[in-house]
């Protein structure tokens, strides 16, 4: 790729990610500027959820909706004849020598955590900084354990880099950008968990764990400088065939042959299935959000009920009844805490997984778009061969000089070679996407099975605690009755 083409590639970065549901304008701004951000919101404000009734019967209906939604999703385990397909694919697209899988055939160990979110900056440029801690036995890194500070847009940069540099790979997505309520404790913790899960999936991916951009993200102490250097050096040698091809398909979107659209029945069917799954997940997410809101509303209503018992107990002349009311008020307050804990567990288990897979489908769409652009690049090369063949035929019919015919033949040969390379790359990326979708199906079943199991276990534990709380109430009141007698 020449210098002008590389510059065009750099300019087409946003086009390559035009379908990216997580990208924002910040990722394309110079690093010495920070996008204005709104001042922090009060910590006690809670994220806004869809409105719904707080009654017990309505909560039961929402629980029924969740069960129905899970059944409708039809999350089924699929048998794969070759469980190591993605590993075989990773060998075909070679990584740099220093990042290759060890001779033993095992991948390096990674343990990545995102910790200690801290708000930094003034009221205009305030943002959250996370500590990313990595433990690994890979000899590529400077040490076996290191910690770096990263903010949200750094995670977004990593996602964009991996998506552009690995066309066809389903890159684990970062959580979406939010402008409101992003400094609330609950939101910050939710984002931290999502970012940590994103990194853990990236380092466990056989096509991504050795990516140079990931290495820079995890260990660089001059991260902003290295990011600017990558943008300023579009001619830097690429580390693999697929990374180079990623720039080729980025340019394909702006050429006159973008009208070519490859139609494949298998991929068309998969796209339809993914769109249906996405709609089902969004419906299920709305139901879970409704349950979470109702649990919080129920907890608040119970706490208010308990508070109303206190002045009633104070005004009651009968000491026994007054004591009973005070005990009941205390039970109601403790029940509020239990409902809030259950709502928090609902978010951490089922809601996080549903939201994550909605975002993963967005990454799959990007992989599909990369395949379409790969097909467009192949079609452009094929059309170029046809044009050069037409020129050669015209020269032959006009009995032009032999040297011109020889030059035309050489151009045809080079054009055919490029066409064959693009066709092979298109087939490779198609094969890679199929392997990635197999991996997606297996992980989806495992993740949802674990999430539903944790969701149900937390509900059972929550009900046990409520029962124990009421049993303690009866024990105390019976003891009071016995004392009065």
**Tens digit of pLDDT per residue, the chain (485 long)?**
444 444 444 444 344 444 444 444 333 333 333 444 444 444 343 333 343 333 444 455 555 556 566 555 554 444 434 444 434 444 444 343 333 444 445 778 899 999 999 998 887 888 899 999 999 998 889 889 999 999 999 999 999 999 999 999 999 999 988 767 778 888 899 899 999 999 999 999 999 998 999 999 999 988 888 887 775 454 443 334 344 444 434 444 444 444 555 568 899 899 999 999 999 999 999 999 998 899 889 988 988 988 888 888 888 777 778 888 888 888 888 888 898 888 888 888 888 999 999 999 999 999 999 999 899 899 899 999 999 999 888 888 876 678 888 888 899 999 999 999 999 999 999 999 999 999 999 999 999 999 999 999 998 999 999 999 899 888 888 877 677 66
- The single residue listed with the structure tokens 């129905």 is 68
Tokens coding 464: 């046990």
How many angstroms separate the Cα of 200 from the Cα of each of 114, 126, 189, 205, 301?
Answer: 10, 27, 17, 9, 39
E strands of 26-92, at which residues? none
Q: Which residues pair with 147 in a beta bridge?
A: 133
Q: For residues 371 and 429, is the Cβ–Cβ distance under 8 A? A: yes
Q: What are phi and psi of 256, to 5 degrees?
A: -70, -5
- Polymer length of the chain: 485
Cβ-Cβ contacts under 8 Å for 302 (sequence gap 6 or more) = 332, 335, 336, 339
Nearest to residue 271, comparing CAs of 144, 366, 156?
366
Tokens coding 123: 């009221």
Separation between Cα atoms, residue 194 and residue 200, nearest integer Å:
10
Order across the sheet with 127-136: list the strands.
Answer: 110-120, 127-136, 145-151
Task: Spell out the alpha helix ranges (H) of 239-318.
Answer: 241-252, 265-315
- Check residue 149 and report its DSSP letter: E
pTM over 0.75: no
Nearest to residue 89, comparing CAs of 227, 213, 207, 212?
207
Which helix (H) or strand (E) segment is 128 a member of? Answer: strand 127-136
Nearest to residue 26, comparing CAs of 183, 118, 152?
152
Q: Report the C-alpha dihedral over residues 473, 300, 292, 287, rounded to 10 degrees.
A: 110
Which helix (H) or strand (E) segment is 197 a member of? Answer: helix 185-203
Separation between Cα atoms, residue 432 and residue 438, nearest integer Å:
10
Nearest to residue 215, comparing CAs of 161, 292, 277?
161
């Amino acid at each position: 790729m020449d210098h002008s083409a590389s510059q065009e590639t750099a300019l087409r970065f946003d086009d390559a990610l035009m379908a990216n549901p997580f990208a924002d304008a910040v990722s394309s701004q110079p690093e010495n500027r920070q996008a204005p951000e709104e001042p922090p919101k009060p910590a006690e404000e809670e994220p806004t959820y869809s409105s719904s009734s707080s009654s017990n019967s309505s909560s039961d209906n929402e629980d029924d909706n969740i069960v129905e939604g899970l059944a409708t999703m039809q999350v089924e385990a699929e048998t794969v004849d070759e469980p190591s397909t993605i590993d075989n694919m990773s060998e075909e697209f070679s990584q740099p020598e220093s990042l290759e899988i060890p001779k033993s055939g095992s991948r390096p160990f990674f343990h990545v955590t995102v910790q200690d979110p801290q708000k930094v900056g003034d009221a205009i440029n305030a943002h959250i900084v996370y500590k990313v801690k990595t433990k690994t036995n890979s000899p590529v890194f400077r040490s076996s354990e290191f910690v770096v500070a990263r903010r949200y847009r750094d995670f977004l940069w990593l996602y964009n880099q991996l998506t552009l540099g690995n066309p066809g790979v389903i890159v684990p997505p970062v959580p979406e950008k939010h402008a409101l309520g992003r400094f609330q404790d609950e939101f910050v913790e939710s984002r931290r968990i999502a970012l940590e899960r994103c990194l853990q999936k990236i380092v466990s991916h056989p096509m991504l764990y050795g990516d140079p951009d990931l290495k820079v993200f995890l260990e660089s102490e001059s991260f902003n400088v290295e990011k600017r250097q990558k943008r300023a050096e579009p001619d830097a040698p690429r580390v693999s065939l697929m990374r180079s091809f990623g720039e080729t398909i980025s340019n394909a979107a702006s050429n006159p042959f973008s009208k070519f659209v490859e139609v494949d029945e298998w991929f068309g069917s998969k796209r339809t299935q993914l769109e249906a799954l996405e709609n089902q997940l969004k419906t299920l997410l709305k139901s879970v959000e409704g349950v979470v809101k109702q649990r919080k509303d129920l907890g608040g209503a119970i706490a208010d009920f308990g508070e109303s018992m206190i002045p009633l107990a104070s005004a009651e002349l009968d000491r026994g009844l007054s004591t009973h009311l005070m005990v009941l008020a205390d039970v109601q307050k403790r029940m509020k805490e239990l409902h809030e804990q259950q709502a928090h567990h609902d978010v951490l288990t089922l809601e996080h997984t549903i939201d994550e897979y909605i975002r993963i489908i967005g990454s799959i769409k990007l992989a599909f778009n990369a395949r379409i652009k790969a097909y467009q690049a192949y079609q452009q090369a094929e059309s170029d061969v046809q044009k050069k063949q037409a020129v050669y035929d015209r020269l032959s019919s006009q009995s032009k000089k032999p040297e011109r015919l020889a030059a035309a033949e050489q151009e045809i040969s080079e054009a055919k070679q490029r066409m064959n390379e693009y066709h092979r790359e298109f087939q490779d990326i198609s094969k890679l996407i199929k392997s990635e979708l197999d991996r997606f199906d297996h992980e989806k079943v495992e993740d949802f099975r674990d999430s539903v199991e944790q969701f149900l276990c937390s509900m059972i534990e929550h009900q046990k605690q409520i029962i124990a709380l009421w049993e303690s109430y009866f024990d105390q009141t019976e003891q009071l009755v016995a004392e009065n007698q």
